[in-house]
Structure 1
Amino acid sequence: MPELAAKTDTVYGASQAPSATLSSATPSAPARDFYIDRLRAVMTALVVLHHTAITYGASGGWFWNELKPSGTLSSLLLTMFVATNQAYFMGFFFLLAGYFTPSSLERKGYGQFLLDRFLRLGLPLLAFGLLLGPLTTGIVNAATGDGFWPCIQYLWNHREFINGPLWFAQALLIFSLAYCAWRAIFGMPLAGARRSPKPVPGYGWWLLSAVGTAVGALAIREFVPVGKNVFGLQLGYFAGYIFLFAVGIAARRHDWLRQLSWRNVRPWLRTLIIAFPAMPIGIAVARAFHSGGKADFSGGLSWPAILYAFWEPFVAWALIGAWLLLFRKYMNQPSPLWDWLNRRAYAVYIIHPPILVSISLALWHWTAPALIKFGVTGVLTCTACWLLSDPLVRIPGVRSIV
């Protein structure tokens, strides 16, 4: 597909052809890392389902909550689904974005690279904050009887900027600027930069990084708990995001993604089996022993907050490693369907809020169990988002951004 060929370097982590040196060393390697593109599309669908789960009773912030979090089985299951996603999938996006950042900067130079980042990240962020965010809020207000246009007028009059899920673009733009500054300050040349393959770090390094990330998250959450936004960013999660973006950069330089093996990941899968139940057990204990059945997992140094901070990286490292290995083995071949899905993934990420909210509101009065509504709404929203993204990515000018 010609339009796909023009999108090999994206903010969303699309793959590029391997270097000539690497290709000569591994002649059987594919021309593109297709599996990374596939992962991008799957993680995008998970983002849509993540917000669908919050709509129907999982904990979390979203434009429209048909059901509030409760002690019902469906609410707890959806909350665990959301918590598991949150533990790794946005950090996974940052890792993949970091993986392609060095080569993009070295190929384009500072000026072109930053211009590209502002176009590909800044313009969608502005479009969402000024148009799609207010539109989504207005749709909810209209459905609940408060009026569409009064809401839009209020947001405009009060200069409310709603970044919604485009906080990711905002954060990635900041990370890209920081990386450029770091390269410039430490005098690392852009021209002639080479990979220096090194073995994937061992279990001890992974363990130390998980503990360090958890401690960093606890330190941040002491001042900015989970759920509190600072300039539209939930800084409570940024210890993991920053670390994984840096890991992506290092993985590119040292060729870690191609060297990653089950020997590296298998110990973390065993760790996952032990660590994963700790969160539902913790939630159950908190509900049983804390006043009102509530405990603060969001910040401070209470045992629930410590449990949550450590649970995230111990779950994330295993899931990220497993996704990479499974997709590298089974999803690394050309596929027209996957190419179609991959090319529209970034557009889906941008436009999914008003579509999800509209579909869930259309089904508001449908009497069905929460899990059934979650499944139906999630499938309808994913289908609608990809179909509506198709003409969007064909519009001249727009297609060079999304």
Structure 2
Amino acid sequence: MRARIAYLDNLKLLVIVLVVVFHSSVTYSGIGSWYYTEKPRLDVLTLGVFGFFASFSQAFTMGLLFFMAGYVVPLAYGSRGFAAFVRNRLFRLGMPTLLFMLAIYPLVVHGLLGFARPNKYPDFFSFYANHITSFGFTWAAGPLWFAEVLLLLSATYALARLWKWDIPMLRRKAMPGMGTILFLMGAIALLTFAIRIFYPIGTTVFNFQVYFFAQYAILFFAGIVASRKGWLERLDEQQGKWWLIAAVVLGSASWAVLVRASGIMGGSWALLGGLHWQSAAYALWESFVGVAMSIGLLAVFRKRCGRQKGVFKGMAQNSFAVYVFHAPIVVSIALLLRPLMLHPLAKWVILSAIAVPACFLFAAFVVRKTPVLNRIV
């Protein structure tokens, strides 16, 4: 049990680091939504590097987090029951979300960006009063949208257990074969394409990027099934390596072809959504990379990364705290680096190299040393 939990924690650590690096990249690329961006003029090569990293990491990181979250849900429910499970989820997911909405978001937007742009915002008390009375805080979950969605999915699972819903997929005992995996990819791609007809990439609904939600919900459910059937314990490392190779090699090559053929570099936005072949192809590409990378990383980490030692053990235990608090840290460091006249890629590397350890140090020496924060996060 410890080894299984350890490798999932280690994999979650890797994903959280990638999330910090991803948000650091948005600072200089403008590809994605973030609090502070410098929006420099980018040449084609630089835009391609940023675009590939953004697309590839987005295709698997959050979906993999939802899969792992789904995997541990049956274990958590089984040891608690409905009422205790729901109370635990409300506290473990709801309290960090409220913390971000009511404290971290005002710090980032008014405290940091207001300091950098003093004429843009009113005084703090007016800003905060409006933030509360206008219910603006309900839109201010930032990265903690993940906790909100996970809370909703967990509650759905708890109700299904309470009402004893019979789900045919849960009766399956055999390991999923190639046909099942391809069906999973196709289902994610089809539903993603359908959602993006109405909500193209770049649109938000109550701070939610719903155009990614098909993958998140399906992989969360897949994690539950995998947990109930013990699929991860039977993952073959060699097959996992082939999935990783396929995701990286085929995923990289097909991304380049798709970007070239879609016309997005020339100003066409058909790739982002609508009834366009480009949008369908991109949804299929995302689902392939997301599922292939997830299978590959889970298989390799289960075999190779089942232990936790030294500093990495502490980092793994603090990864969620890093996720909760990384926004003000990344923005603070980016503002300090603002005077540097360097290439955007160089500034991204520098920001990431400083922000990642800074986030983990903050988690270890501030969050864990502050009783109320330690309890919440």
**TM-score normalised over the length of structure 2:** 0.90
Q: Distance in 1 between matches of 2:34 and 2:187?
A: 30
Q: Counterpart of 1:202?
A: 177
| Distance in 2, Cα, partners of 1:55 & 1:381 | 12
Supply the distance in 2 between the matched residues of 1:72 and 1:361 (Cα, whole angstroms).
Answer: 25
Matched pairs, number = 366
Aligned-partner Cα distance in 1 for 2:105–2:265: 39
Letter in 2 for 1:142: F
Higher-RCO chain (CA-CA 8 Å, sequence separation at least 6): 2
Hey, what's the Cα distance between the residues in 2 that align with 1:33 and 1:186?
27
The one-letter code of the counterpart of 1:51 is H
Is structure 2 residue 268 aligned with structure 1 residue 294?
Answer: yes
Say if 2:203 is the partner of 1:228. Answer: yes
Would you say the 8 A contact 1:271–1:314 is kept in 2?
A: no
What are the residue-to-residue correspondences of 1:73-88 with 2, within 5 Å? Answer: 73-88=45-60
Contact 2:264/2:271, CA 8 A, preserved across alignment: no
Q: Distance in 1 between the 2:143 and 2:86 partners?
A: 22
Question: Are 2:64 and 2:219, in contact at CA under 8 Å, matched by a contact in 1?
Answer: yes
Shift of 1:267: 5.7
1:82 shift after superposition: 1.1
For 2:241 and 2:362, the matched residues in 1 are separated by 40
Distance of aligned partners of 1:305 and 1:146 in 2 relative to their CA distance in 1, 3 Å threshold: farther
Alignment of 1:111-126 (within 5 A): 111-126=83-98
- Contact residue 122 and residue 169 of structure 1 kept, 8 A: yes
Residues in 2 aligned to 1:283 and 1:152: alpha-carbon distance in whole angstroms: 46
Tell me the distance in 1 between the aligned counterparts of 2:314 and 2:24: 23
Which among 249, 254, 259 is matched to residue 234 of structure 2?
259
Q: Choose from 316, 320, 326 the match for 1:352.
A: 326
Partner in structure 1 of residue 28 of structure 2: 56
> Contact between 1:213 and 1:240, CA under 8 Å: does it hold in 2?
yes
Cα root mean square deviation, aligned: 2.3
User: Which residue number corresponds to residue 258 of structure 2?
Assistant: 282
Deviates more, 1:340-349 or 1:156-165: 156-165
Report the Cα distance in structure 2 between the residues aligned to 1:264 and 1:46, rounded to whole angstroms: 24
Match of 1:240 among 205, 215, 226: 215
CA shift, 1:103, in A, is 1.1
Query: In the alignment, residue 323 of structure 2 is paired with which amino acid?
Result: Y
Deviation per residue, 1:256-276 (Å, 9 max, x gap):
111111464466446433343
Partner of 1:177 in structure 2?
155
- Structure that is richer in helix per residue: 2
- Cα 1:76/1:152, change in 2 over 3 Å: farther
Tell me which amino acid in the other structure corresponds to 1:61: S
Aligned residue type for 1:280: A
Query: Following the alignment from structure 1 to structure 2, what is the Cα–Cα distance between the partners of residues 249 and 302?
Result: 33
Distance 1:219 1:401, change over 3 A: same
Q: 1:251 to 1:381 in 2, by over 3 A?
A: same
Aligned to 1:401: 376
Q: Label 1:68 to 1:312 Cα distance change in 2 as closer, same or farther (>3 A).
A: farther
TM-score of the superposed pair, with normalisation by structure 1: 0.85
- Give the one of 308, 329, 340 matched to 2:282: 308
Select 1:163's aligned residue among 129, 138, 141: 141
User: 1:296: how far off?
Assistant: 2.9
1:126-165 deviations in Å (ceiling 9; x for gaps): 1111211121112223313435554773464143221110
Q: Is the 8 A contact 2:25 2:50 kept in 1?
A: yes
- Gaps of at least 5 residues in structure 1 are 1-16, 19-29, 189-194
> 1:385 and 2:364 equivalent?
no
**What is the Cα deviation at residue 231 of structure 1?**
2.0
- Correspondence for 2:302: 328
Q: Which runs of 5+ in 2 are unaligned?
A: none
Deviations 1:103-137 (A, max 9, x none): 11111111111111111111111111121112111
TM-superposed deviation, 1:196: 8.2
Q: 2:240·2:296 contact (CA, 8 Å) conserved in 1?
A: yes
Give 1:294 shift: 3.0
